[in-house]
Every structure is written in structure tokens, then in C-alpha cells.
Amino acid sequence: MKSAVIVFPGSNCDRDLAVAFEAATGAKPAMIWHRDTELPADIDLIGVPGGFSYGDYLRSGAMAARSPVMQAVAQAAERGAFVLGICNGFQVLTETGLLPGALLRNAGGHFVCRDVALTVENAQSAFTSRYDAGETISFPVAHHDGNYFADAATLDRLEGEGRVALRYAEGVNGSARNIAGILNEAGNVMGLMPHPERVIEPAHGATDGKRLFDGLVEGLMARA
Amino acid sequence: MKARIFVTLKGGVLDPQGKAIHHALDGLGFSGVNDVRAGKLIELDLADDTSDEDLDAMCRKLLANTVIENYRIEKVG
């Protein structure tokens, strides 16, 4: 199984995500610099990490979305590779158009950095198969632009197609319909603002995030 | 040729920055402000033969996110 983590100037969760990928897959992911134009052949799993790529210039994720490597990520996603965008990675995926909508400044105007309760809305996806539908879990968030926005028709479509994977179980950032994480139409691309990679081992104080990565690997093994 | 690109949030898209500015104006005693919306001005210095199509494409592909923003192009000189 081949995994990769994309690294932009200003990424700061890339190494945490690499640790999570290695723990789940048993192999170190390739760290891919934003100027690279190719990913390892037959890549199975790509992580777009959190951070402040390009200093959040223009809009969060906007510059990273236009970097050379993202074309390769889009092509891999088209081929069926799993793509996981966390926090700034979610912003990058919406800016590339791999996921619908946009992440606006938090409604309260403040940077929010704390553990939040989430409800698993869809436990059928490859990213959430180790959770139970309706289960409440806790991941940390750390963002300023996490207020999910999409027009009403897009929101209805996401809800109707089971593409709202995770919802905040409490008020966090003003997100439309409390959306915390969504899936693409094919179900192989997920973006979420909370950080599962920060809660994968007992030393972190919680392990709710581990099941996301383990479930992903299980899904990949089943597919192989 | 120079162009100014005005990028503004679409109506209905929440603008916490505008709200904070509004609040600060209130605090300074300017009580007659009904609403504040903050946007961006991007100035481009362009080759004279830059086409309108290219200028529009720059806005759509990068300068504005049309999911949440409108843009207006003003050519200067």
C-alpha cells in the first residue's frame, strides 16, 4: 500500500499526518513537495495536511490549490485513490474543486482551538467505516476559517447523498448545518476541519481518530 | 495597462471582518453606520495586449472564489 503526504510551504501538520499514515499502513508515506508534478505510481492514499499553506495568502488554500502537485492529486483522485484533506487540506480541496463549497472565516471571528464533539452522520464511507452511525466522537479543531459554506441546493444534495460524513454536535464556527466533514460524489475524497491525526494514541489523551485511519487501510486492503 | 480587480463577498455570505469593523466604528462614536462589508482590491500591471478574456480568466481561476465572491474589473489607462 502506497501513501503520500503533500507538503506546502506553511504546512504544519504534515509530519503528524505522516505518523498517522505510517501507524495505519505500516509503511512510511512519501512526502511530496508542492512543486513536484508527479506522485508515486499507483498511489493508494494521499493526505493533504493542515497548516497555513502560503501564509493563507489571498484565501486559505487558494495558492496551494493552484500548485503543480495538486493537478497530480486531482488525477489520482479521478483514478480512485483515497484523498484525505484535514483543516487547511480541506480548504485546499474545496479551492481545487475536488469538494464543493468553501470555508469562510469563523462566524464568531475568533480562531477556535479546542476539542469538539462530532456526530458521525455516515458510517458507510471508507473514511468512517470503523465508526457507528450516530456515534459521538471527539477530535480537536484549530482553525480560523472553518465555517463551511455552500448554496442551499448543494447542501441539500450533500445531505441527500449521505455526503455529510461528520457534523459538529455543538456550535463551533457557524458552519452551514453544522457540517464538519464531507465526501465527494464517488466517496474517495474527504475533507474535514477537525484533526483526527492528533488523537491516534493514548499519549494524545484520546484515540478517536485512529479508527479513521485504520478503517481507510481496511477499505484499501478490501479493494486490492 | 493597469487593472483593478474588486473582490467582494456575495450577498448572504457572512462577513465577520465587516461586522468587527462595524463594531469598531460604533465604538468610535460613528453611530450612523448601517452595515459594513469588507472586500479586496487587487491591482494588476499588465502587458498592453492582455485580452479581456485572459483578464476575466485570471479572476475566475484565482483572484476570486466564485462560490463565495463576486469580482469587478476596472481597467485603468
Cell of A149: 459554506
Q: How far is CA B23 from CA A10, A46, A49, A108, B33, in A?
A: 32, 43, 35, 13, 10
- How confident is the model at residue A68, as a pLDDT? 94
Question: What's the complex ipTM?
Answer: 0.88
- Assess whether A13 carries a catalytic annotation: no
Number of CB atoms found within 10 A of residue A40's CB:
14
At A223 the pLDDT is 80
The sheet with strand A82-86 has its strands ordered as A30-33, A3-7, A45-48, A82-86, A189-192, A179-183, A164-168, A112-120, A136-143
Give residue A171's pLDDT band: very low, low, confident or very high (50, 70, 90): very high
The C-alpha angle with vertex A163 and arms to A76 and A93, in degrees rounded to 5, equals: 40
* DSSP label at residue B63: I
Our CA-based measurement puts residue A95 at a distance from the nearest CA of chain B, in whole angstroms, of: 8
> Residue B10: closest CA among chain A residues belongs to which residue?
A151
Q: What pLDDT score was predicted for residue A222?
A: 86
pLDDT, one tens digit per residue, over A187-212 is 999 999 999 999 999 999 999 999 99
**How many residues does this entry show for chain B?**
77
The pTM of the full predicted model, rounded to 2 decimals, is 0.95
Residues B46-56 pLDDT 10s: 999 999 999 99
Asked if A105 lies within 8 A of B61 by C-beta distance, the reply is: no
Tell whether the model's pLDDT for residue A224 goes beyond 80: no
Chain A CB contacts of B13 under 8 Å are 104, 149
| A4-25 pLDDT per residue, tens | 999 999 999 999 999 999 999 9
For residues B36 and A223, the model is more confident at B36
**For residue A26, is it left (φ>0), alpha (ψ between -120 and 50) or beta?**
left
Other beta carbons within 10 angstroms of residue A38's beta carbon come to: 13
pLDDT at B68 over 80: yes
Give the integer Cα–Cα distance in Å for B74 and A144: 31
Confidence label for A41 from pLDDT (cuts 50, 70 and 90): very high
Q: How far apart are CA A5 and CA B70, in angstroms?
A: 33
- B73 in helix, strand or coil? strand
Verify whether residue A195 is a known catalytic residue. Answer: yes
Residue A2 has pLDDT above 90, yes or no: yes
Residue B18 CB partners (closer than 8 Å, separation 6+): B9, B35, B36, B37, B38
B10: DSSP letter = P
Q: A85-89, A168-172, A219-223, B21-25: which range is least confident on average?
A: A219-223
Which residues of chain B neighbour A104 with C-beta distances below 8 Å?
A: 13-14, 68
CB contact under 8 A, A104 and B61: no
- Nearest-CB residue to A101 (from B17, B20, B67): B67
pLDDT tens column, A129-148 = 999 999 999 999 999 999 99
Closest residue of A to B11, CA-based? A151
Contact A37, A26 (CB under 8 A): no
Does residue A44 surpass a pLDDT of 80? yes
Question: Mean pLDDT across the stretch A95-102?
Answer: 98
With a CB cutoff of 8 Å and minimum separation 6, the contacts of A216 are: A24, A45, A82, A84, A126, A127
